[in-house]
Amino acid sequence: MKNEIVYKYLDTNIKVNREKVLKNYLEKQEYSNELSFYDLNMYENKDDLKNNISKIIYKSKLDKNITLTKYQIEILNILQDNNIFLSAPTSFGKTFIMLEFIKRNIDTLKNIVFIIPTISLMNELLKKIYDNFGDEYNICINSEEAIEEKNIFVFVPERSNADFIEITKKIDIDFLVFDEIYKLQGTKKELRTDDRLIYMNKVYLELVKISKKIALLGPYINSVEFSNTNIDIIKFYTNYMPVYNEINVLEENKNWKDEIKFDNQLIYFRTPQSIYKNIDDILSKIPENDYYIELYNNEIDFLKNNIGEEWYVIELLKRGIGIHHGKTPMFLRKFYENEYNKKNIKILLCTDTLMEGINTPTESLLIVDNPGSAFKLNNLIGRVGRLNPKKPVIGNVTICNKEILQDLININSWLDLKIRAEDEEVLSDDEVLYLNKQYSNEEKNNQYKEKIDLLKERYNIVTEEIVNNNLELDKVLKLFNQGIINELENSQNVYQCIVAATKLIPGPSYIFNKDRFINLNLQINYLPYKTYINDILNRKSFREIIKSFNTEYNTSGNVENINLFIDALYNLNNFIKFKFSKIINYINITKNDITNDSLKTFISLLTTFNKLETSYKILDDLGIANDDAQKIIQVLNLDNNISASKMMKILKDNKIKLIREINSPFSKNNIESI
């Protein structure tokens, strides 16, 4: 049994007193000795010996304008000789401390891995790392990228595939940072609906096993155990926040729309559907603005010509409003983040995607919906009033339902984290397959073994092949047992391939349910989403698909229907890209020779759609539209022997030339912001 070392800085009284001192300073701008006592000395601006010595001692090596806190210094000292699990509020600066550690140990750290849960977060961190370490390190975001002597890998788990694991076995991983570690927790229902969850835990197990130094980061976590890996790791819990937010609860007789402030405000909704439901009211509340119509003239024209004139995104842009959720296309998401951070976009309608580490500093947050837990609420509020000692302000948070406020500051309402890879309980066969677990129930254990034996004896498929292709055990069985592979191999056209493939990897049919729309001219219950998959794979433009939808089904020209349909298309586009394309791996695992021309075409269309070439992948992640990516590759004569950092340098060096060559104003904006 390892010795457990735990640091807990969770005294609620100290937290409350610190907030009082900070609030007093922010309101009156009067310095006091209490700032130093409560570790708020970054706000001290007195030119005396004591303050100057303190700033020298605590000065950041990464950014000379930043004064570190005593907690951050303590974490850096711990990291020198230990692994660390760090639970701290969003505004604590967890990621910054990891970058600070790299800066202070740049001569000894050769290979560094950051595992980030989402592509948006990956892009956010990629820019920070490039800006700070682009000259010292080669930076990669895909396993196919060229590696050099010193590398920083910034990966989402699904890209940490078998190829990447093999790379890590050939080089020493000096430092592993697993951010937003709470994403490794999951219920039985979440395991069924999120096919990334098991593989995220698989990557965690693989990398923890081979990394010399480990940092696991997350906010508002009350406890965690490492029962499986039994790693030596110091646990550090703190509720320290160097910012102050005024939290107000809307009175019951007031309308939240009256709280909209046209000044750098985030408005939080729990789901995209909740945003859609309120857009008309928001549009009527805030009129069109000639300034924004002129500022975003090119963007508005581009969207009209390529999507359609009725899209609510256009109407929001005319008012200086953006929209950011998990189904928003990447080129738009990055554009909104850029423009909001530049304070051009004044209001951002958002969901949890802004809660997971995206750097969108704001002074005002309006919480319309209940985030679902005190953990999520705390994390969301941490977006507000991000630390800025030079221009400190009081953050303003308005909560629209007093029930949301319960247990907000109670640490007992924080998350008791159960990492699936560390939890002995088995919730699915895939946990046994990927996470080295065993069923305690003999009957379930025998059923699992029967499945494995069946695949090996009847279909010559071993577990290593399933794991290396990141497949689900039951889906592999279903491929054979329900004859789906035969349907694919006997298909007469691409559409029949799609019909067969969706039996194995079901599409988001619910978003095409006619009950979501108003008075469609449709006799069946669902719009033909499989036809739309076929259209998207064959590069039919969204504008053409929308026109066909209006002609056939939305004959009244209902604008709300058009907007719902456009969002459904982008949702479907993401489904094809991140889930449906996995059908190729399922087909490949059969080891059958593909002779059917329709199936060959289907696989080719999926492969082309995903732009599997390394240069395309990097450009897509950077928010460059496909047509523009193709033009950039041609203009600059790029090959696939490239890394993300090299691509970013090339784009920066050729910025003027590329902006002249490409079409999309969103791609231009995203290149300018690199």
> Which pLDDT does position 500 carry in this prediction?
98
Q: Report pLDDT for 18.
A: 92
pLDDT confidence of residue 355: 60
| Number of domains the chain contains | 1
Mean pLDDT value across residues 446-472 = 94
Q: What percent of the chain has pLDDT over 90?
A: 62
What is the rounded CA–CA span in Å between residue 9 and residue 237?
Answer: 6
Whole-number pLDDT of residue 298: 96
Measured CA to CA, the distance from residue 609 to residue 623 in angstroms comes to 16
Name which of 115, 116, 196, 85 is nearest 420 in CA terms.
196
* In-domain check, residue 535: no
The amino acid sitting at 295 is L
322 within some domain: yes
Q: Quick check: is 610 in a domain?
A: no
Encode pLDDT of 262-303 as tens digits.
888 999 999 888 998 899 999 999 999 999 999 999 999 999
**Region 652-662: what's the mean pLDDT?**
92
Tell me how crowded residue 458 is: count the other CB atoms within 10 A of its CB.
10
Chain-centroid distance of CA 658 in Å reads 28
Mean pLDDT for all residues in the chain: 89
In sequence order, what are the residues at sequence separation of 6 or more whose Cβ sits closer than 8 angstroms to the Cβ of residue 79? 101, 213, 215
Structural domain range at position 330 = 245-413
Tens of pLDDT, residues 503-554: 999 999 999 999 999 999 999 999 999 999 999 999 999 999 999 999 999 9
- How close are the terminal C-alpha atoms of the chain, in Å? 48
Write the CA distances from 246 to 88, 115, 352, 414, 420, integer angstroms: 20, 33, 21, 21, 36
Q: Is residue 328 part of a domain?
A: yes
Which residue in 342, 370, 432 sits closest to 670, CA to CA?
A: 342
Assigned domain for 253 exists = yes
Average pLDDT for 119-144:
91
| Residue that has been written with the tokens 């491929």 in this structure | 479
In a domain, 434, yes or no: no
Q: Quick one: pLDDT band at residue 46, thresholds 50, 70, 90? A: low
Neighbouring-strand partners of residue 84: 215, 234
Q: pTM higher than 0.95 for the full model?
A: no
**Which of these, 442, 472, 398, 460, lies nearest to 195 by C-alpha position?**
472
Cα 137–chain centre separation: 23
Q: Is residue 87 part of a domain?
A: no
In a domain, 378, yes or no: yes
Q: Would you place residue 460 in the very low, low, confident or very high pLDDT band (cuts 50, 70, 90)?
A: very high
Q: How far are the Cα atoms of 194, 195, 211 from residue 157, in angstroms, in the given order?
A: 13, 11, 16
Give the CA distances from residue 99 to residues 81, 125, 301, 597, in Å, rounded to whole numbers and listed in that order: 17, 10, 41, 51
Q: What per-residue confidence (pLDDT) applies to 392? A: 72
* Per-residue pLDDT at 80: 96
Residue 390 is predicted with a pLDDT of: 65
Q: Tell me phi and psi for residue 224, to 5 degrees.
A: -160, 145
Q: Which of 129, 249, 203, 161 is nearest to 419 (CA)?
A: 203
List phi, psi (to 5°) of 372: 115, -20
Whether the pLDDT of residue 45 is over 80: the answer is: no
The pLDDT value given to residue 110: 97
Other C-beta atoms lying within 10 Å of the C-beta of residue 606: 24
In the numeric block, which tokens belong to residue 580? 């449906």
DSSP helix/strand/coil, 73: helix
Give me the CATH number covering residue 275. 3.40.50.300
Confidence tier at 251 by pLDDT (50, 70, 90): confident
Q: How many CB atoms lie within 10 A of CB 524?
A: 7
Helices 119-133 and 94-104 pack at an angle, to 10 degrees, of 30
Residue 1 reports pLDDT greater than 50 = no
